[in-house]
Structures are given as structure tokens and as C-alpha cells.
């Protein structure tokens, strides 16, 4: 398969994740439905030129986003602090007071709400999978459940100064078309662009092995994101954020589409080594957890994971361990009482920990370790808190 970002090399397959749930972030109302969740194959290929990583077996027909997709992170204090700071930074850098912003994706408009609190005057969120309960349109904040079109950039009471997209591009099979649509629209109205994705380099370098999910057909390292944006006229220097887990590209002005020279955007040579070692690394991390869970089972210990999102779903589907991992805990009330795709683990709230009688809680994302440890303690749990 030709690299969909730089088109200058074929992708080399370096990791086979096997068959995994198609949606790591769609939760099910019954255990039976969860266990029967649709699955798809994941084989990651990397581009030797720009460093882009893609699931070469991705089938877009399996992935149709619908309400029920739940990947909001806005329940966590750590995440909220990050989002608040990002919102006020964007308002300041793009002069959004007296202006309009359009977000592609954006679910319940939680982030757009933060931009408005930080001084943005008008916001439009375009998201076909925005949940029903979010359609609370006010005069200045609208959610439309449809795809973004170029005409949406110009409509509105105030001048549009920012087009943004957070955690959408990694779901898109043709990232070049998606970014081109954004930058063309931004160019027409002289708006800036902000794109944020999970950092593919974090997955490779910091062994975020549980981040490989079917919904994410694309993984961007800083070099690949820079190459992608540059082709669409947005020269950016992608920045890592959120403990290195996120990657963002931002510009206040989109230039003309330039002739693209892949040689200028070649990836850090270290990335090829990271890809080559990834399968081995994954296997050794998986083996360590299998051993840990087997000894926990032998001792009759009761475990839960904390984090019913991408990482939790992948972790459970690779290790299953239904006899020793009893629950998934999550702060998002919309997830509570529902079930993890593939394995059918029940999701409980932190409040339910008091009665769950757990010996160990495995935190799925290290960035939340401190807040989870204190929430678990506050909920009356004396379980040991460990990190994946």
C-alpha cells in the first residue's frame, strides 16, 4: 500500500495486532452484545519516508460513526486542566474574541464550550456522531450532525478565525483529503487551523502499546503530521502535549498549496528502529502482564482496570483474564453500567469501589495515576493502585 500521506513509498508492515473490536469506544448495554461486538484485523504498516503509520487492513465499511460512540475525556481533572489551558491559548493566539470558530468533530461541544468561556464569540460544531443529548443549540453555539463542507467556514455572524479538529484525523482513511478540505476552507476566509491527534511517536517510543485500536486507522508522528499539513499549505512545527501523548499542528495563516518534496520532510531515522522493535516490545509487555495476572489469579486477588476507553479495551481484549480482572472503572457516568466490547467487562463508577472489594486497580493511562489513587481512596477502596 502506497503511503497515503507522502505517496513516495509503500508502507512496510511491522506489527500484527490480530483481530480486535472495531469500536474500542462504543459501549454496550448488555454483556452478550458486548461479547458479540464486531471485530476487524489490525496490521500496522509504516512509511519509510515520512514515518506515517496506518492499519493496512482497515475497512472503512466496518466503521460507521453513530451516536453511542463515547470517547469524551472531559470527566478527568487532569484532562480538564489541559483543555482549559488549550482553549485560552487558542482564543489568545487566534484573537477569537469577536470571532467564530468551526470544529470538525467535537461530540458534545465540550471543547467549543471551553473556547466560548475563554472569550470566543460564536462556535459551530459539525459532528455526524454527536450524541442526541448534546443538541442544545444557543444563538452563539450550534451543533450540526452532518459533515463539514467548505461553505460552513464562511457562514455565521462573526468572521471565522479558526477551523479546528481534535482527535478526528486518526480515524480518517484519507487524511490528505481531510486536511485539504480544512485548509482550503480556512484559506478562503483567512482563518487559522488547529489539528490535534494522538501522538503516534508516543505509541512507538513510550510503548503506548494499548493505544493501537481499530478506529485509529492512522498514527501520526511529528514528521508525518508536518508532511501532511505542509502539502495542504500549512507549514507547522507539530508540538507534543499532554505528557507527550498528543500532537498538535497549528497555524494562524494557511499559505498556498506547495509543491511537495518528500525529502524535506523525511522522518527521524530513529523511527524506523522503533517500528522494527515494536512487535517484540508489545510481546514482552503482554507476557509480563500475563504472568502478573496468572499469579494474581493463583492468589485469589480481585482486580479492576481504571479507564474504559481505548487503552482499557485493548488491554482487556489482549489479556482477557475474566477470572481475575472483574471490572473496568470509569469516571464518565455515561459509561457506567455498560460493557466493554469484546470481553464484556462491566463498567462501574468510582463510587462502586467501596463494595467491589478489590485488591488491585490497574490504571490504564499513567497520566491519571495520581488523581485515580486519590479518587479510589476517597471512594473507600484500599486496593493497591498500579500502572499499566
Question: Among residues 327, 292, 304, 330, which one has the least CA distance to residue 385?
Answer: 304
Rg (Cα) of the chain, in Å, rounded? Answer: 21
CB-nearer residue toward Zn ion: 269 or 300: 269
* Minimum gap (Å) between residue 313 Cβ and Zn ion: 28
Alpha helical stretches, state H, 36-98: 77-93
Rounded CA separation 42/169 (Å): 18
| Residue 242 or 265 having the CB closest to Zn ion | 265
CB atoms within 10 A of CB 301: 15
CB nearer to Zn ion: give 228 or 305.
Answer: 228
User: Based on CB atoms, which residue is closest to Zn ion, 50 or 308?
Assistant: 50
Q: Shortest approach of Zn ion to residue 2 CB, angstroms?
A: 9
Q: How far is the CB of 52 from Zn ion (least distance, A)?
A: 5
Q: Which is nearer to Zn ion, 36 or 174 (CB)?
A: 174
CB of 230 or CB of 340, closer to Zn ion = 230
Binding site for Zn ion (CB under 5 A): 3, 5-6, 47, 49-50, 52
CB of 55 to Zn ion, least distance (A): 15
Phi, psi for 167 (deg, rounded to 5): 60, 45
Read off the C-alpha cell for 221. Answer: 508522528
Least distance in angstroms from the C-beta of 6 to Zn ion:
3
Angle between helices 222-231 and 175-189 (to 10 degrees): 50
As a whole number of Å, the end-to-end CA separation of the chain is 33
User: Which CB sits closer to Zn ion, 115 or 267?
Assistant: 267
CB closer to Zn ion, 4 vs 309: 4
Tell the smallest beta-carbon distance from residue 224 to Zn ion (Å): 7
Cβ proximity to Zn ion: between 3 and 114 the closer is 3
CA distances from 283 to 210, 242, 270, 278, 307 (A): 12, 26, 21, 9, 22
- 3 state DSSP class of 43: strand
52 to 1, 69, 218, 270, 280: CA distances (angstroms): 12, 26, 8, 13, 20
Write out the DSSP string of 197-243.
EEBHHHHHHS--GGG--TT--EEB-HHHHHHHHHHTT-----EEETT
CA–CA separation, 277 and 282 (whole Å): 9
The order of strands in the sheet holding 53-55 is 12-21, 39-46, 53-55, 218-219
Pair 248, 234: CB distance under 8 Å: no
Question: Rounded to an integer, what distance in angstroms lies between the CA atom of residue 140 and that of residue 210?
Answer: 39
What's the grid cell of residue 112? 467549543
User: What is the β-pairing status of strands 246-251 and 192-198?
Assistant: antiparallel
Among 4, 328, 82, 66, which residue's Cα sits nearest to residue 215?
66
CB of 53 to Zn ion, least distance (A): 10
For Zn ion, the closer CB: 10 or 322: 10
Amino acid at each position: 500500500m502506497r503511503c497515503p500521506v507522502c505517496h513516495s513509498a509503500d508502507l512496510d508492515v511491522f506489527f500484527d495486532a490480530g483481530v480486535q473490536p472495531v469500536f474500542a469506544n462504543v459501549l454496550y448495554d448488555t454483556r452478550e452484545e458486548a461479547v458479540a461486538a464486531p471485530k476487524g484485523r489490525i496490521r500496522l504498516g509504516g512509511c519509510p519516508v515520512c514515518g506515517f503509520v496506518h492499519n493496512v487492513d482497515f475497512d472503512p465499511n466496518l466503521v460507521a460513526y453513530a451516536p453511542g460512540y463515547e470517547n469524551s475525556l472531559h470527566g478527568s481533572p487532569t484532562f480538564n486542566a489541559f483543555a482549559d489551558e488549550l482553549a485560552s491559548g487558542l482564543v489568545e493566539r487566534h484573537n477569537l474574541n469577536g470571532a467564530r470558530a468551526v470544529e470538525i468533530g467535537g461530540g458534545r461541544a465540550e471543547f467549543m464550550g471551553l473556547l466560548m468561556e475563554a472569550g470566543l464569540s460564536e462556535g459551530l460544531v459539525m459532528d455526524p456522531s454527536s450524541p442526541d443529548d448534546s443538541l442544545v443549540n444557543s444563538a452563539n453555539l450550534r451543533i450540526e450532525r452532518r459533515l463539514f463542507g467548505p461553505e460552513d467556514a464562511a457562514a455565521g455572524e462573526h468572521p471565522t478565525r479558526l477551523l479546528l479538529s481534535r482527535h478526528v484525523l486518526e480515524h480518517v482513511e484519507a487524511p490528505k483529503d481531510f486536511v485539504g478540505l480544512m485548509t482550503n476552507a480556512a484559506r478562503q476566509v483567512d482563518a487559522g487551523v488547529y489539528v490535534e491527534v494522538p501522538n503516534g511517536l508516543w505509541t512507538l517510543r513510550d510503548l503506548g502499546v494499548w493505544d493501537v485500536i481499530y478506529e485509529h486507522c492512522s498514527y501520526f508522528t511529528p514528521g508525518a503530521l508536518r508532511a501532511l499539513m505542509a502539502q495542504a499549505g500549512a507549514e507547522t512545527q507539530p508540538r507534543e502535549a499532554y505528557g507527550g501523548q498528543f500532537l498538535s499542528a497549528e497555524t494562524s495563516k494557511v499559505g498556498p498549496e506547495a509543491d511537495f518534496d518528500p525529502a524535506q520532510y523525511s522522518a527521524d531515522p530513529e523511527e524506523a528502529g522503533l517500528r522494527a522493535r515494536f512487535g517484540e516490545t508489545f510481546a514482552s509487555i503482554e507476557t509480563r502482564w500475563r504472568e502478573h495476572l496468572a499469579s494474581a489469579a493463583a492468589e485469589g486477588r480481585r482486580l479492576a482496570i481504571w479507564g474504559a476507553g481505548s487503552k482499557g479495551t485493548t488491554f482487556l481484549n489482549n489479556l482477557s483474564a475474566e477470572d481475575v480482572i472483574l471490572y473496568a472503572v470509569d469516571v464518565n457516568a455515561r459509561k457506567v453500567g455498560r460493557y466493554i466490547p469484546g470481553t464484556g467487562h462491566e463498567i462501574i463508577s468510582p463510587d462502586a469501589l467501596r463494595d467491589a472489594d478489590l485488591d488491585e486497580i490497574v490504571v490504564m493511562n499513567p497520566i491519571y495515576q495520581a488523581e485515580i489513587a486519590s479518587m479510589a481512596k476517597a471512594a473507600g477502596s484500599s486496593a493497591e493502585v498500579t500502572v499499566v
